[in-house]
A and B are shown apart, each in its own frame.
Chain A
Amino acid sequence: MNANLDEPRWLLERREEATRAAGTLPMPDRAAHRFRFTDPAWLWAGVGTGADTADVAVEATLAAGVAGTFPGVLASAGDALAEFLGRLARPDDPFLAFNLASFTSGAVVVIPAGARVEDPVRIRMRIAKTNQGTACAVRNLIVLGRGAQARVHETLDVEDGLANVVTEVVVADGARLEHAWSEEAGPGAAAFTHLRTSVGRDAFVSQSGLLSPAGRGKAEVVTTLADRGSRAEATALILAGGESHADLRVIEDHAASDATSRVLVRAVASGGGRAVFTGLLRVREGASGSETYEEARGLLRSPEASADLLPELEILTHDVRASHGAAVGPLDEEARYYLMSRGLGAEEAEAMLVRGFVGPVLDRLPSEFAARLPWAPAAGENG
């Protein structure tokens, strides 16, 4: 592997453990929902291949705390890294293990207890090209101390090759994080991302995602509601056009009582694109008083496009309020006719309908993400 020998002992040990796991753990089963629609082989380049380094940048205005990138950040954020890195997203499957074993780049953001960061912290990851048969591994860590508040905008652009990006997030008791992420992969490129978040007592996290690969993209958003009164909101917009394959998996894992989670997904598939969403709401034993809600809707814009949206529930306790719904359909022709009868052109009418369809999740994305979309709302258009 490519571990730097100057790395601290704890990291070398974790890498060793991960290397063993990556070589021995079985590939995830396609019978399980996680990889039901996406062949794991598309995202796997094997163990022991030489890794490329991604271009990772952090932009932050912090009065205190840390914002930096590997390897330099090992010196400034050593304690937080030793405490959390590889501890949330453990090397318990080949993808996560490979990542921990071989990452050489990534960003680390630590917001101290009680701090309130006004401007969004931006993490930009760009992977221009990886060697044949090589996955570029990137690992990020975001820690918000007790009562801290921050926004993080995390973007991944894979122009060519294969990326494996894991981001671990700790939201300590009473903290509040608004986390926006986007994942893009060029034609022929593939990206695997895994966002693992732990939410503390009375803490809150919102995760707003945009998954819009031109090639193949698989994004996993796994959130543990780890303590009483924690809250999580995951929203996402999945766009699959051309020949692209976009697969989002969300898990809201209720491990404590009186926690709430809400998942809202919109998928638009056009051309020959395939959009996939699987969303698991899990309420563990003892997590009474939980509330969890999931809604996913898909829009098919061509006969060749497909969208598979599968909510799952795993409720192991009583005293839970859980609901979910999923629906996929084409553009409403009567609505299109109605708009055209008011003088809108066919394309304008369709754009307006699509914009309306994705509105509930688009409105949650930072404007810098939304501005890249073809039917971004004009200023003032939104009532």
Chain B
Amino acid sequence: MMSLAPETPLLAVRDLWAGIDGKTILKGVNLVVRPGEVHAIMGRNGSGKSTLAHVLMGHPAYEVTRGDVFLDGRDLRDLDVTERARAGLFLGFQYPVAIPGVPVTGFLRAALRARRSGGSESADVPVREFRRTLLGAMREAGIPEDFASRPVNEGFSGGEKKRLEVLQMLMLKPRLAILDETDSGLDIDALKAVADGINRGIAAGIGVLLITHYQRILDHVKPDVVHVFLDGRVALSGGPEVARELEERGYEWLEAPGEAVNPASLGTR
């Protein structure tokens, strides 16, 4: 995984079709993320952004009917969720799931062990060393220390959950982090903290696929490429100016029948 030819994309999605309960949601997604790049995906509710995130992660409820996904050149088709995570994929959940009775510490230690070693006991992280690392990361992420012994995401506020997602990303150091609306429901301080965390991850070489509704996170996290998602596919890709354009004009102009969208025309207004 480490010795890659420079031209191998970090993530390559080719003509991906997928759905759930017999309903097709993704209708031919094409996407290429190169190592270390930051891509933003914007789009309306229901356009298929979260579905893309779960399909990439391998959620068992979704069915892929066509297309390919490669991570670091590795075909993900036959990999389950665990294997995708161990291959270097991370999903920051839009709605992080509460795990009753499982303290943050034990959970993260198990996750770190799994990430490092494919789960074998031999890669166990000594408790004290781990705790030191965790508490340091929590301080950086602005998460109170006592969260370490609380059950994962149980009784956490929306902002606290999102901070914990980012903290997990930083500790697990994936190759590619898909962050599904990690910026939604945050006040300004939390947004800033989350953005700082994402930027630290980017600086550490993590590729980021940032799914968002809002321009405002992109004031803090600078994307290399912005994609607009419409009806289950990428309708438009361009630079950061695309996000500003959306902020001003909404999505409707992209749907206007017959209107050809020329990315080159954007950003010149």
Q: Give chain A's interface residues, CB within 8 Å of chain B.
A: 332, 334-335, 337-346, 348-349, 352-353, 355-360, 377, 379-383
CA distance A352 to B115 in the complex (A): 16
CA distance A341 to B89 in the complex (A): 8
Whether B106 lies near A341 (C-beta < 8 A) is no
Whether A356 lies near B102 (C-beta < 8 A) is yes
Whether A357 lies near B119 (C-beta < 8 A) is no
Query: How many Å from the CB of A270 to the closest CB on chain B?
Result: 18
Q: Give chain B's interface residues, CB within 8 Å of chain A.
A: 57, 59-60, 80-82, 84-86, 90-91, 93, 96-107, 109-111, 114-115, 119, 127, 148-149, 151, 168, 172
- A345/B119 contact (C-beta < 8 A), A382-B103, A383-B105 known: yes
- Residues of chain A within 8 A (CB-CB) of B97 are 332, 334-335, 337-338
CA distance A209 to B198 in the complex (A): 47
Whether B119 lies near A344 (C-beta < 8 A) is yes
- A381/B111 contact (C-beta < 8 A), A340-B80, A341-B85, A341-B91 known: no
- Residues of chain A within 8 A (CB-CB) of B102 are 352-353, 355-356, 359
CA distance A335 to B103 in the complex (A): 14
Query: How many Å from the CB of A345 to the closest CB on chain B?
Result: 5
- Residues of chain A within 8 A (CB-CB) of B114 are 342-345, 348
**Which residue in A341, A360, A380, A383 is a CB contact (below 8 Å) of B57?**
A341
Apart from the given pairs A340-B80, A344-B114, 19 other A-B contacts in the complex at a CB distance below 8 Å: A332-B97, A335-B98, A335-B99, A341-B81, A341-B93, A342-B115, A342-B168, A343-B119, A344-B110, A344-B119, A346-B80, A348-B110, A353-B102, A356-B101, A357-B100, A359-B102, A377-B106, A382-B105, A383-B149
Q: Chain B CB within 10 Å — which of A342, A343, A360 has the most?
A: A343
- Residues of chain A within 8 A (CB-CB) of B96 are 338
Whether A352 lies near B103 (C-beta < 8 A) is no
CA distance A380 to B148 in the complex (A): 13
**Which residue in A332, A337, A383 is a CB contact (below 8 Å) of B103?**
A383
**Which residue in B82, B101, B110, B149 is a CB contact (below 8 Å) of A360?**
B101
CA distance A344 to B80 in the complex (A): 11
Interface residues of A, dominant DSSP = helix
Q: Which residue of B lies closest to A381 (CB)?
A: B106
Whether B80 lies near A343 (C-beta < 8 A) is no
CA distance A88 to B168 in the complex (A): 55
CA distance A346 to B148 in the complex (A): 24
Query: How many Å from the CB of B102 to the closest CB on chain A?
Result: 4
- Residues of chain B within 8 A (CB-CB) of A383 are 103-106, 148-149
CA distance A359 to B98 in the complex (A): 15
Whether A341 lies near B151 (C-beta < 8 A) is no
CA distance A338 to B149 in the complex (A): 19
- Residues of chain B within 8 A (CB-CB) of A360 are 101
- Residues of chain B within 8 A (CB-CB) of A352 are 99, 102, 106-107, 110
- A340/B82 contact (C-beta < 8 A), A345-B119, A356-B100, A383-B148 known: yes
Whether A359 lies near B101 (C-beta < 8 A) is yes
Q: Which residue of B lies closest to A380 (CB)?
A: B127
CA distance A338 to B168 in the complex (A): 12
Query: How many Å from the CB of B153 to the closest CB on chain A?
Result: 8
- Residues of chain B within 8 A (CB-CB) of A348 are 110, 114, 119
Q: List 10 A-B contacts (CB under 8 A).
A: A334-B97, A337-B81, A338-B96, A341-B90, A343-B82, A352-B102, A379-B127, A381-B106, A383-B106, A383-B149
- Residues of chain B within 8 A (CB-CB) of A344 are 82, 110-111, 114, 119
Query: How many Å from the CB of A136 to the closest CB on chain B?
Result: 37
- Residues of chain A within 8 A (CB-CB) of B81 are 337, 340-341
- Residues of chain A within 8 A (CB-CB) of B80 are 340, 346
- Residues of chain B within 8 A (CB-CB) of A346 are 80, 82
Q: Which residue of B lies closest to A363 (CB)?
A: B101
Query: How many Å from the CB of B78 to the closest CB on chain A?
Result: 15
Q: Which residue of A lies closest to B118 (CB)?
A: A343
Query: How many Å from the CB of A366 to the closest CB on chain B?
Result: 19
- Residues of chain B within 8 A (CB-CB) of A357 are 100-101
CA distance A340 to B98 in the complex (A): 14
- Residues of chain A within 8 A (CB-CB) of B104 are 383
Whether A339 lies near B60 (C-beta < 8 A) is no
CA distance A352 to B110 in the complex (A): 9
Whether A339 lies near B106 (C-beta < 8 A) is no
CA distance A341 to B152 in the complex (A): 14
- Residues of chain A within 8 A (CB-CB) of B101 are 355-360
Q: Which 4 A-B pairs have the closest CB atoms?
A: A356-B101, A343-B114, A383-B103, A359-B101
Whether A353 lies near B59 (C-beta < 8 A) is no
**Which residue in A332, A338, A382 is a CB contact (below 8 Å) of B106?**
A382
